Structure 1
Amino acid sequence: MVYREMETDAEMAMFVKCFWMSDSQNDEGIHTVLPDGYFDLIFYRIDNNLNRIFLTGTWTIPVDVPFTKNTSHFGIRFKLIASEYIFRESIERIIDTSTNLPLHYWNVSDETFENLETFSIEMGRIIERFIPDYTEIDRRKFSLMGCLYDNHGDISVAELSERVGWSSRQINRWFNNQFGLPLKTFANILKCHHAYRQIAQGRFIPESAYYDQAHFIKEIKRYTGYTPKELFELKNDRFLQLSTHDNG
């Protein structure tokens, strides 16, 4: 299995975390996707032919994904704000699941999947067409999501509310209606995702986002199903998200 990610440019980064691809080559098995605080548009190919396009919701649980020989996935990992401003719809109904899209979605050609670089360029051009004018943007929402991602979820509701001028009730109502989960859950997932890097490097002492060792272990296991040590031991066999953090 080969897995790669490619970061995006500054303007696109408001909406997109990265472009990615996986290629099973001659391998078969299962990899586990861990909650990360994003959602994905994924193009699935069998023997170099497009077989399925689907949109995932936000994962709050680990999900096992089987892969077989000669299959590949090309994906776009979106920040949650993209659901409202790029897709123009709520992803509340697909939390912890996915929905199939027609094979002509975005009218993508076979040449798009030549490699990750080509995919990122072509997808970038398409996404740029959907980016709204600044006059259409609710700056409170962008400020809110920016604070959450920049702080990896380690910021209090009170501080968020003060920074963006939105009450905690308004924030939670928007989160539940638009994304299908409360703010606290999303923040905890971002903390967990941020901890993957240190876990991948074999460091099991919690950083400031967690009260103590017991709290760290409990929260990691809540969202991944494994303790930090178990994740580290299985990182190269099951968890692509950990293997990409191995050297970073």
Structure 2
Amino acid sequence: MKPGNFHGIGLGPGDPELLTLKAIHVIQGADRIFVPKSDTKEESMALEIVKDYVEEKKIIEQIYPMTKDKSLLNTAWRKAAEEVCTEIRNGYDVAYLTLGDPMTFSTYIYLLRYLLTMLPEHAIHTVPGITSYNAAACMANYPLLTGDERMAVIPMPKDITELRPILETFDTVVLMKVAKKLDEVIQLLEEINLTEHALFASYIGQKNAYLTYDLVSLKGSGRGYMSVLIVKRKMP
């Protein structure tokens, strides 16, 4: 039996219209659709995005633990990779769905590490997706980079003081995983006079998408979840 192929599909931030044509084509041609799902959520956002293209497909949900225990996580990813490989060795083409871009702060990367040890490289294909910060910048008509400007894309550090030299070095800084540190970040931006050109966006690509330049109004709002904060030292 000829083995199938594996396709990791970046779905973008949440809007089904932001799926690439290639992502749709691959999903429609796949025999099996693997859908990652948190053990704390009842529904899969990834599945909701592609529901119009998977009606007659076999859907396989994989539950991943929301934990920082590396041992538990490694066990979960290894098990997930083995499940994927079983379908591929049985001759099925597999599409694995992941939000955003597969290679940008994605848990897909951990699965991929195992797959690369289990499958020939020519059988593994990754389809890029639009990132949340890209989508947010376009929605707000907010230029990320011009000329020879430099940009940093970073997750929120545990120690907020680590942000200051980064904000003072790069022309554009994209802060991911802002979560509960939003108020602290706003306070720092006020101290170094960088609130004027900062863009806050949450739930981009979804029905409850929110954009604002008024960072001060966000203090105490609790809007840090599913958000991105883009800071520029100056606008072109």
Normalising by the residue count of structure 1, what TM-score does the alignment of the two structures yield? 0.27
- Bigger-Rg structure (1/2): 2
More helix by share: 1
Normalising by the residue count of structure 2, what TM-score does the alignment of the two structures yield? 0.28
